[in-house]
Amino acid sequence: MASPPVLLAAYAGAVFLASVAGGRLSEYGAMTHRRAQIVMSFVAGFILGIAVFHLLPHGLERIPGPNDFETAALWIMFGMVVMIVLLRVFDFHQHDFSAEAEAVHGHERVRKGGLFGVALGLGLHTVTEGAALGASVRVGFVEEGVLPGLGVCLAILLHKPLDAYSITGMMKHAGHTPRARLAANLAYALICPVVAVGSYLGAGMLGPIAEGPTIGRALAFAVGAFVCISLSDLLPEIHFHRHDRGKLLVALSVGISLAYALYLVEAMAMHDGHGDH
């Protein structure tokens, strides 16, 4: 297995490239409305599964004391509230720039929230993802898991292109130059990798006594944030769209099932690793 810094560097590089690629997609036209909804449902299900099957168990294991569940619940709620506030204040979670969506919304979202608010909201949102990635890699290596942090990395890899697509798509509709869109795309793509590395190194500097409880609370916070991110994509589609409900449900189920399959692989690998000792 690769060393923690090497694996984290690989994750960070993959996230950066995925984000840049997603941002560049807006230069070649928007996805169709149907494809956008199916992709969003799949990614929402996968992120929801990662939060429940991966982040939550690791967080609970590292919160000590008789009130561990209560502490985890408070931090999960804190993560959800923070993300809800960000969504409410900055109104940034718009991934569909298809012709069908434009016919309904036009340029309203660009005028209403402003690009600065969208960029700030998505930036704060990706800070949470980066912190979760760095913490999950450190936790996984302590537990001798197989490819620690893989599930969280995949969740970010799937979701980050949608966010980058939102930023560059809105900038394109607002009339910004290709150079400005490229600069914003690259800057946004760097946030998650930088925060992931900082989170990993920061947890290491805390020392073995503080590292466990601190990472446990951070992972619980990430659970709340990931659940909110997932449902902010999923619930509007279920509520407002009468078409393709079966396809959207299948996409959601596939995403959750993939997250659970990764959990089973990780659990079996950890069991085999402990058995070898």
* pLDDT of 138: 80
**Confidence band for 107, pLDDT divided at 50, 70 and 90:** very low
* pLDDT of 276: 52
Residue 137 · residue 200 · CB < 8 Å: yes
Separation CA 182–CA 167 (nearest Å): 10
Separation CA 182–CA 203 (nearest Å): 33
Question: Which residue in 158, 116, 111, 153 sits closest to 136, CA to CA?
Answer: 153
Q: Encoding tokens for residue 233?
A: 């994509």
pTM of the model: 0.77
* pLDDT of 105: 47
Separation CA 63–CA 72 (nearest Å): 7
**Confidence band for 75, pLDDT divided at 50, 70 and 90:** very high
Percent over 70 (pLDDT), the chain? 73
For residue range 192-210, what is the model confidence (pLDDT) as tens digits? 999 999 888 876 655 554 4
For residue range 251-260, what is the model confidence (pLDDT) as tens digits? 889 999 999 9
Query: Taking the CB of residue 100, how many other CB atoms lie within 10 A of it?
Result: 14
* pLDDT of 32: 66
**Confidence band for 240, pLDDT divided at 50, 70 and 90:** low
For residues 69-78, give the mean pLDDT. 94
pLDDT, greater one: 239 or 198: 198
Residue 217 · residue 65 · CB < 8 Å: no
Least confident of 57-71, 86-100, 217-231: 86-100
Least confident of 23-27, 100-104, 137-141, 253-257: 100-104
For residues 227-236, give the mean pLDDT. 78
For residue range 144-166, what is the model confidence (pLDDT) as tens digits? 556 778 889 999 998 888 888 88
Question: What b/e readout covers 228-265, taking b as 16+ CB neighbours within 10 angstroms?
Answer: bbbbbbbeebeeeeeebeeebeebbeebbebbbebbee
